């Protein structure tokens, strides 16, 4: 099976991925952040490096999807190829941080890739407000994230909501503002109960 965690920057995707991988004995796949050769440059000059960064993510994510489709394990993935193409790239384009030419090129490549992959068996979306995201980003203290703009985060949040509203696959939504799954065992239990119901309940995912 392919389980995916979706959510804005700072929503807690990586933390939840680790916790669910441990709880269900799934194999985690994490977003390539620490060794990403473009992130520092991107946050320093978004217009210059947006296309390079998005192509980097698209390449990595497509490779992951292909590997997941061939795996016999249940994989839990921290962010998906759909978020890159449906949320991050369009947001940069609408902000004037990616040219029409680059966005068209990127979109054409994504459409080709997406014709070869399918939706995850279960998508878990962490819905968080801007204050919650800013709080989480500040706590983890990544140097390159200190220059993230509020309008950038807000644009991403709006696009996440529009995307998830029309999402066609199996979906669980976690309230990131009022669910402390990292520190409150009862909150985490509620999430795992929902997952159990989706995967192993009376009408489980086929």
Q: Which residues carry out catalysis?
A: 78
Helix (H, G, I), strand (E, B) or coil at 2: strand
List the alpha helices (DSSP H) in the chain: 13-24, 39-44, 46-70, 81-83, 89-94, 100-114, 130-140, 150-165, 185-200
At what angle are helices 150-165 and 130-140 packed, to 10 degrees? Answer: 120
CA distance 11 to 130: 9
Helix (H, G, I), strand (E, B) or coil at 28: strand
């Amino acid at each position: 099976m392919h389980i995916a965690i979706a959510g804005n920057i700072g929503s807690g995707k990586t933390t939840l991925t680790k916790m669910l991988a441990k709880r269900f004995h799934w194999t985690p796949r994490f977003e390539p952040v620490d060794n990403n050769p473009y992130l520092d440059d991107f946050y320093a000059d978004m217009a210059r490096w947006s296309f390079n960064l998005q192509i980097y993510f698209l390449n990595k994510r497509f490779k992951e999807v292909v590997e997941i489709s061939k795996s016999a394990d249940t994989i839990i993935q921290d962010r998906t190829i759909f978020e890159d193409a449906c949320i991050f790239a369009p947001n940069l384009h609408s902000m004037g941080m990616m040219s029409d030419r680059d966005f068209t090129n990127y979109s054409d490549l994504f459409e080709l890739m997406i014709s070869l992959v399918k939706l995850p068996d279960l998508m878990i979306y962490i819905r968080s407000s801007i204050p919650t995201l800013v709080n989480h980003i500040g706590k983890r203290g990544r140097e390159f994230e200190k220059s993230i703009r509020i309008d950038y985060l807000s644009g991403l949040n709006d696009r996440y909501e529009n995307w998830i509203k029309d999402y066609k696959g199996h979906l669980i939504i976690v309230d990131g503002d009022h669910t402390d799954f990292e520190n409150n065992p009862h909150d985490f239990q509620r999430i795992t109960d929902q997952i159990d119901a989706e995967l192993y309940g009376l009408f489980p995912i086929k």
